[in-house]
């Protein structure tokens, strides 16, 4: 009856991204689902949100989307549980707070606001091919922010953070 909760992996990233970033997000979603983890993202049918949800759904994973809207009109069809906040950008804070580990794919100012909140909250944060400098350098040194090049490396880092034996 009582079950241990599955880790929730938050995948952040832009709503308008290039093909390479989208493919990487899809692969990341697939690997998250294969590990039995829950994928959480911003829920919209665009960019990294759409691609990562599609990848996780393809692998049979549970997908949670925290939407800025008060309706499901822009929810990705690969999001199984749409959480409607009606709060616009304020939902970015919920994305970060609810994730056990955050992976940030490439994005714009919205993604950077989520990275900033993750740093502010000392949340484990993995940058996947997203080179940013401000505020991050010091936290890399402290071992709270990690920079990786591939989805597989992101997964390996998540396993380390979650203390899952290799």
Residue with tokens 């505020």: 135
Q: Does 153 bind its own copies (CB under 8 A)?
A: no
- Comparing CB distances to its own copies, the nearer of 64 and 103 is 64
- Using an 8 Å Cβ cutoff, are 101 and 156 in contact? no
Binder among 23, 74, 94, 147 for its own copies (CB under 8 A): 94
Residue with tokens 């990487």: 24
Binder among 12, 21, 42, 54 for its own copies (CB under 8 A): 54
Least separation in angstroms between residue 166's CB and its own copies is 26
Print the SS3 string covering 15-56: CCCCHHHHHHHHHHHHHHHHCCCEEEECCECCHHHHHHHHHH
Q: Give the E-state strand segments of 49-122 in sequence order.
A: 63-67, 81-84, 101-104
Q: Does 162 bind its own copies (CB under 8 A)?
A: no
Q: Does 19 bind its own copies (CB under 8 A)?
A: no
The interface region with its own copies, picked from 18-26, 51-59, 146-154, 156-164 by CB under 8 A, is 51-59
Phi, psi of 5 (to 5 degrees): -70, 140
Binder among 18, 20, 36, 97 for its own copies (CB under 8 A): 97
Q: How many alpha carbons lie under 13 Å from residue 136 in its C-beta half-sphere?
A: 19
Residue with tokens 């822009």: 74
Q: Does 142 bind its own copies (CB under 8 A)?
A: no
Query: Site residues (CB under 8 A) for its own copies?
Result: 1-3, 5-6, 8, 38, 54, 57-58, 62, 64, 66, 70, 77-90, 93-94, 97-98, 108-110, 112-113, 116-117, 119-121, 132-135
């Amino acid at each position: 009856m009582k079950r241990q909760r599955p880790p929730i992996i938050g995948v952040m990233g832009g709503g308008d991204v290039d093909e390479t970033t989208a493919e990487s997000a899809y692969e990341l979603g697939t690997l998250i689902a294969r590990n039995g983890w829950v994928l959480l993202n911003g829920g919209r049918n665009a960019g990294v949100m759409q691609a990562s949800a599609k990848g996780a759904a393809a692998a049979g994973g549970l997908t949670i989307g925290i939407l800025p809207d008060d309706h499901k009109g822009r929810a990705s069809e690969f999001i199984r549980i749409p959480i409607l906040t009606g709060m616009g950008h304020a939902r970015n804070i919920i994305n970060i707070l609810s994730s056990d580990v955050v992976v940030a794919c490439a994005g714009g100012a919205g993604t950077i606001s989520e990275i900033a909140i993750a740093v502010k909250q000392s949340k484990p944060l993995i940058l996947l091919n997203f080179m940013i400098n401000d505020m991050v350098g010091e936290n890399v040194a402290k071992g709270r922010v990690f920079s990786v090049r591939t989805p597989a490396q992101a997964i390996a880092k998540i396993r380390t953070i979650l203390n899952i034996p290799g």
